[in-house]
Structure 1
Amino acid sequence: MTTLCFCLFAHKLMSQSDTLLTFSVFQQQIETLSDSARFERLYDYSVNALNQSKYPEAALATNGMLKIAQDANNQILIGRTYMAMGNMERNQNNPTKAISDYLKAQSIFSSVGEYRRQLRALQRIEGVYISLRDLEKAQYYCEQALTIARQQKLELEIANIYNDLASIEDIRKKYNQALHYNELALRIYQSLKEEDSYTVSLFNRAIILKNSGQYRQSADIYQQCLKAAKEKQDVELEGMIYINLPNTLLLLNQLNEAEEYIRMALTWANSQSKSPPYYQNIYETLTAIYEKRGQFQQAFQYQKLSMVYRDSVMNAEKSRQLIETETRFQTREKQLHIERLDEDNLRQRQQLAWLTGGAILLTFLLGIMLLQYRTIRRVNGKLAETNQTLSDANERINKQSGQLKQLMRELHHRVKNNLAIVSSLLYLQSNRLEDENAVRAVREGQQRVEAMSLIHQQLYQTDNVTRVNMQTYIDELVRGLMQSFNHQDNFNLQLNVAPIDLDVELAVPLGLILNELTTNAFKHAYKGIDTPSLSISLWKEDQLYLEIKDNGPGMDVSQWQKPSRSFGKRLITSLTKQAGGRLEISGENGTRFLLILPVPEKKAILTPETEPA
């Protein structure tokens, strides 16, 4: 995490919002108030609406604020309105519009000498650019704000801006510069006796020190912050320290102490009813602790919990975006509906004038037509109802069919992404290990995960979401392994793969077995071989056959058949048994593995136009 993430709780603005009245009811309540009082009430209403993600109500409130401010020609109120509009656009993920509103606000505040408000507007702009990771522009607006704060001798604002600059440099990994800015902010807070701001800035310093590799100093400052938080009974800061301190202790290899604090964090999160991101961080830390201890079963359990909470965060974010999109759509629909109503009213008034003149003449004819009209209407109603029923049924069937196919693609995409995350985690973990055997074991695990990920990648990229094209899959898998083991030059690769589509239930174990045998060949078969060669064949007759041959020195078949602690050998044996097949091995003129699997017709489809190799 960057320092910026942990500056948020310093503002202590997160409070429960009151139940929001409808805007029409709210307008009635404030219509007798003075303009200035109505403006302040509208401002509070817009903030409350934003907290509850009710953007149409927030937009109505800010429009009301702008009208009052413009009618009074009050520049400060106009500037405050643009600030509120910028906040609303930022909450709806419209950074360009948010920056535009903030720029208007800061220009107005500058013109009337409201320097503190101008600085807040510049810092909001900087915050948007930081969230977009456009650090150059973020720094530009920080420095612009710092110049104004220095000119006006606004010491507290100068310290706040130093903290922002420290966040930017921390994201850039320029830790010495980040620590320098943080030190400047600490000095000012201390001189102004701003104890809360000082403690939060000190907390940020501990994070920067951890990021820069100064773990001992980071841990000491965390303890200093924890002592201050307990003295002030600042439960929020205390909990954040419990979450972050274990990461530093983990790097110091103080595993027991790290676990003690992260379990305090878990107790704190439960007592405060915290949101899923807190639990995700806690369980990720517990995973790392138990991995470092070598207790991989427990680490795996905690990793599963962290992934559950990570999925909750992703789902919540998707739900929020869906609500925002739906809200904007409803707002546009309401505006269009109002315009249509105005047009309808005008058209109805014109029609009424014509109908009044012809009403007397039509009265007699209407009486005669009434019975016929009722009969026709009854018949038409039944026909319309029947047609609508059929139309709805067809639409539901088509929609459900499309949704099912899309859900399968999404499922395979999600599985592929999750496997990619697991692969990345294994790669990162291997970089942190020093034991070569451990690194090799983790890297081999990563290759197995990538072999499974490749299957799910194929499934969501094609129209067939249940079967894997083995020609494409084997080609991509083997060439990826060749690249990993640097066997791209002067290497004779022969792929004779029949155009077979396998059910994913069989494709996964077959892919893992192929991955293990091919990896074994690349690792052991070609030492001292001038022209290495590898032949892989897959065909289907009465059964499914997979053959892997190399031109290495061969192997002792009796040695292979002996019990072994090799994970790869046990994995091959287990998967072969699970698939109901058998493995034949020959060690003459190189090593040859022949995997024979009984395959029901429904699990393996051979394209009829091409004969198998």
Structure 2
Amino acid sequence: QWMSNLYNLIGTIYSELKFYDKSVDYYKKAIATAQEINDTEGVYAIKINTARGLYSRNKPAQALEILNSGTKYNPVNNCDVEYASIYILVYCQLKQYSKAKPYYDQLVRCGNSGKKDHIRQEKRYYAMVVYLLKTGQADKTYAYLAELRKLSAVHNDLLNLAQLEKVHFEADSATANYLGAISHLKSFKQLNDSLFNISSTKQFADLQLEYETEKKDKNIKLLKQHGQLQETRLNNEIIMRYVFIASLIVLFLILGLLYGRYCIKQKNNRILEAKQEEINRQNVVLRRLVDEKEWLLKEIHHRVKNNLQIVISLLNTQSAYLENEDALMAIQNSQHRMHAMSLIHQRLYQSDNLASIDMSWYIYELVNYLKESFDLDRKISYKLDTERVELDVAQAVPLGLILNEAISNAIKYAFNNRPKGQVTVSLKSTGGEGYQLTIADDGIGVPDGFEHQERESLGMNLMMGLTNQLDGTFTLQNNNGLAVAITFIRKQQLPGDAHNSEN
């Protein structure tokens, strides 16, 4: 509650000094504080002060909004001079005289029954005079003006006397008493000039006092600053002396640390140089070992390829002494399978990459070999649709053997009694590391139930077994020819395991 009273007091002081903007700001703070602590009486009192401040600033609408906020004042059941008088002034300033009339009637009914202090009486009479002047009843104002003059004479308040003379002037002017009006106007001017002179004299005295006080304060401040400056100079000299000594000590310490760091750095450099020489020596040895291993691996692939070629040649020689067609066909199939494997070893020893095979190159070479191996009068075309993919030996060999079986079967059986045909080989990615190898022809296809009848054949078992070795899936599709599809996942090989898979 003390905070609300403090804001109200500051607002009242600003109002008396005619700083109405600041007074209204503090009144509003006082209202908010009083409402927080449910101080109803305090809220009513502060609302009246706020409304008077806004009225003095010619802001009657805002003053009315303040008065009507919260619990509204009832002019019928109450006899509060403060509320009734401010409502009359605000409504008259808004020219809403009909709304001011109930409050005027209340002041007439209350008469002198309220509190007897002269401030409330002055407010009551002044509000009634304003209402009568505004509503064209100037002849009724003289009785109240007389009461106001008595109160002003007793308390000798120049401000109230000046205001009274001004109101009396307005009443005389309204009643055509021009001589009286001129007399009261002169009195108002004299009192107003006196108030102005008093205010000016007071302001001048205040300014002169403020100037003298400020001048003395500046002199005192200059003396203090001069003394502080002298003390600061002495302190600075002492500090500089200590700083110089400390700087010398720090400098010697830094020089010692730098020398120590230099000796440690030189020692570390010698150690690093020795380690670097050892690393370089070991790198040379390792490089030699790697080169030797790569040379050995290439030599192994070369010899494996040569050995396979020798076996193929031996089988070819053996076939010259055979007359049985089945035996000749078996030897020829074995030769094709060995050639499919020898192509992989040939590629490995001819390239720098000993870990994987480019399957697009391999499929092209294998198809050309098979096309040349089967000397047929039929015109069979080959369509290759392969993506560039690198596979390690563990997956390339099974895939090559499957290709050999599927293409050989298509050449031998798919185009019987047909002058021409087409074999399509595709290797495509299915997303991620998944791939699908498809060997399809547009030949006569296979009869129903073929897969179940031929599961015991060597070629079918070989393709299905190799598919399982790839951890893939094997499917046959008989639609306008036969299509063999193998779906598998490409295995990623660690660099250190590249050579192991080739053994």
TM bucket, shorter chain? 0.3 to 0.5
Larger of the two Rg values belongs to structure? 2
Q: Please give the TM-score of this superposition, normalised by the length of structure 1.
A: 0.34
Q: Please give the TM-score of this superposition, normalised by the length of structure 2.
A: 0.42
